[in-house]
Structure 1
């Protein structure tokens, strides 16, 4: 989720610059981005801990494979509703309130799951955790984007993806931490540990994290926004210019929402249809390669490969989690130096090879294959799945197109996670992994023929590109109309201000 499905409109900051011509970033900005990224650890923790507790819950409640799949996969479905609810709370009550609501849902959810004595109660807790995760998916990147200068936004928004992977490692680590406890107590303690990070988030929100200056300006609380911006940017910056550009971005965003209803997505022109094919397609592709399903059932895969000790799978889980986390950093850096298309193609080719190795391997080679798979995912498809949509969607359709991409991504995750075990029982592990390898190859073809290189290209460049390849200039005309309309209003405002 490199760039948010809901990142704020861009604005450029004037003021003090470093020796390389870019604005200096303050330690306070880094601190706030770090705090927000911690919230993403909740989703990762759930993935990691579910990998460990899934088989224990299945055994304790006597679940079928389908019931366990529903328990695992439903989180992605409920997160869609959480993300949808988050926007109303986020816009009405502020970003800080959304962090608190997300944390409370997660805390109550894991407590209920840990106390459950039936599958029905377990699923109630899962529903609440899913809502909390959905809130986090929506609010984390928004907050980071709104407290960060535009030229650093891409880098710091990727901290949400890093937070997810840190959470996965922490979830895997619970298997070691509670190793040796009676199983019926062990999985409950592991789930309850999930309440720690949300509690930390509530403390940070109440003591460290201010409200987003962009939200404050939108609500007319400009003096509060100015005080926060003065801490976010080094001394010497023109804070008035910063505030004016935020207002410009808000006005353009508001006008785009007014001028373009959902018809622009439901009945797209040729250019918009091609944008949606690329942006939504890449978001879906991230889940079609099977990453959520494989991560959620790693314990099963490792035991199936022949590891028969109790601690053996836990040790391998930790290695795989740390490896995946490390390569997220590598992928984030390479995207800005090597470009998007090459990394996507390398990532998909590597995953196809890795999945083939897993399909035909013994114990050692299964572990090697999984390590390669997670590494190749993390250098391309992982950090890039939200970077591409954020770069190809035009301003006039971005908010709605990003919502469509998010929903499709979560639906694909739900389907894959909810059918993985059943498919493996019906077809066999070898056939399932060969099927996923085939999907990776098909996605390589899709990327090669349809994905443009977006590195270093502006939104205007991308709009022109899609207009040219589809011979459809309606999107360009809509962007120009939107820009001209705002420019006239802004000039009128400046004239009235000078006269007064």
Structure 2
């Protein structure tokens, strides 16, 4: 695969020359505009909601278990149900995202967070608690699918790696905020503390709705798909520097859509359910990377961090909260590192280093105790944040062809949350049954297998425009249907060119 990837890189230089000619500088010389920054930051606020719930649930879980008298199985359902409903939200997101646009998807996600946070915080029974988690989970599913997709579609290729990883940075900022609520309400009675922590989850979604209605534009690629070219041009003029030929960008998007039509790739689910070789490779890599993010066990470790800290011998509540905050901050800091390196070093090196590092850290966690074990957890979170954390959303958001991008992200989110549901809702039972040492060794083995999978199948996509991806994967897989469509387009261009050149003479 390594050689195949390099050959594809060489052979597909011609596929990217067009984007570079239009100014999509893969060397990073194209400046990031104020519009790109503002729109990406707004989208990232939605990711903060997921992080907040992850951080808050780490502390809320034990409190809810004690206050409502939950069993261990019910606590696992409380934690894991969020990911289950996120599966449904991720699957449904494609319909709203494609039919009604990216902006309305953001609003849908925010409403799920608001309704769910209020119901969960007011619940007095396990049933009502689970109803609230259903709404929050639906919101998370929508958010996970739309955030990286929107940022990828509104960002030039030269900066896409850095900008898309902002969504993972935002998740980690939300985690720290969620963990901090335990300190914020430290002196409050436990019966009220967990409710206040959950109510706090409704604040950022309100901000998100305001920003969608007043600041954020629609995705230019969705607008082009809908034939709304003037609106798409207006958005692209805010994303690219003054004087940039945005008409050429629109032409690229339209050409990709036409190429996929000529390759018999319908906008419906046929392209996903019965894919050509190029689309099959896209789906295998994109969905596989999304699954890998949760298969490494991140949710089981983070949701039950309190249990791990207690097992390490730390008894004081204040010390436990301090360690939690330290681990959350550690995870956050290294996401910034990963975000900086993705556009410099590429996707393959960082994801590989991340998985190998986590594999070694899980072995360390399995065989150590006390401070050494906490150190292993800190290193595990750091390696996760450098690569698999942001990369698992960056790769799917950029490799799917325009016609299946929303559907691909929807499926990626669905599978990601499905694995998260299994991992988070079975952690305590599985770890107690097979032994904690054996459980972490199993996760280390999974990390090793995933390293091999990505090494074999993941091509390097650094610096490539979204419009390049279809032809790039067609060359990698020798997908003749896509390549023939490209040849047809080129023949059409050759036929049209003389006519265009003669038109001034005809006018004269």
TM normalised by structure 1 equals 0.85
* Closer, same or farther: CA 348–194 of 1 in aligned 2, 3 Å: same
Q: Could you tell me which residue of structure 2 aligns to residue 99 of structure 1?
A: 106
2:481 equivalent to 1:478: yes
Are 2:238 and 1:237 equivalent residues in the alignment? no
Query: Is 1:345 paired with 2:352?
Result: yes
Q: What is the aligned counterpart of 1:374 among 369, 381, 393?
A: 381
1:77 aligns with 2:80: no
Change (3 A) 1:215 1:269: closer
Deviations 1:97-151 (A, max 9, x none): 2222211111011000000011111111111111111111122223223332232
Give 1:218 deviation, angstroms.
Answer: 3.7
Cα deviations by residue, 1:174-233 (Å, 9 ceiling, x for unpaired): 111111111110000000001111011112122222333333444444444443333333
Picking from 87, 110, 120, the partner of 1:113 is 120
1:454–1:258 Cα change, 3 Å: closer
Given that 1:14 and 1:238 are in contact with CA atoms closer than 8 Å, whether structure 2 keeps it comes out as no
Structure-2 residue corresponding to 1:296:
303
CA contact (8 A) 1:78 1:127 kept: yes
Aligned to 2:94, the other structure's residue is in SS state helix
Q: Which residue of 2 aligns with 1:464?
A: 475
Please state if 1:46 is matched with 2:50: no
Name the counterpart of 2:323.
316
Aligned residues: 483
Residues 1:105 and 1:485: Cα distance change in structure 2 (over 3 Å): farther
1:293-442 map, 5 Å: 293-389=300-396, 402-442=409-449
1:162 matched to which residue of 2?
A: 169
Q: Bigger CA drift: 435-444 or 243-252?
A: 243-252
One of 23, 32, 42 as aligned partner of 1:25: 32
> Is 1:173–2:180 an aligned residue pair?
yes
Alpha-carbon displacement from aligned partner over 1:453-489 (angstroms, at most 9, x marks no partner): 5556764454433x3xxxxx4x2x1112333455577
What is the alpha-carbon distance in structure 1 between the residues aligned to residue 278 and residue 36 of structure 2?
37
The 1:170/1:452 distance shift into structure 2, 3 A limit, reads same
1:163 and 1:256 map into 2 onto residues whose CA distance is 38
Q: Which moved more, 1:354-363 or 1:124-133?
A: 354-363
Q: CA deviation at 1:247?
A: 3.2
Structure 2 residue 202 is the aligned partner of structure 1 residue 191: no
Q: CA deviation at 1:395?
A: 7.0
Q: Is the 8 A contact 2:25 2:157 kept in 1?
A: no
Match of 2:10 in 1: none
Stretches of structure 1 lacking an aligned partner (at least 5 in a row): 1-9, 468-472
Alignment CA distance shift 1:13-1:314 (3 Å): same
Residue-by-residue CA offset, 1:250-291 (whole Å, 9 max, x unaligned): 444566674486566556677766665544333322211101
Counterpart check, 1:285 vs 2:292:
yes
TM-score (norm 2): 0.84
Distance 1:342 1:139, change over 3 A: closer
Residue 126, structure 1, aligned to residue 133, structure 2:
yes
Q: CA RMSD in A?
A: 3.3
In 2, Cα distance between equivalents of 1:426 and 1:59:
23
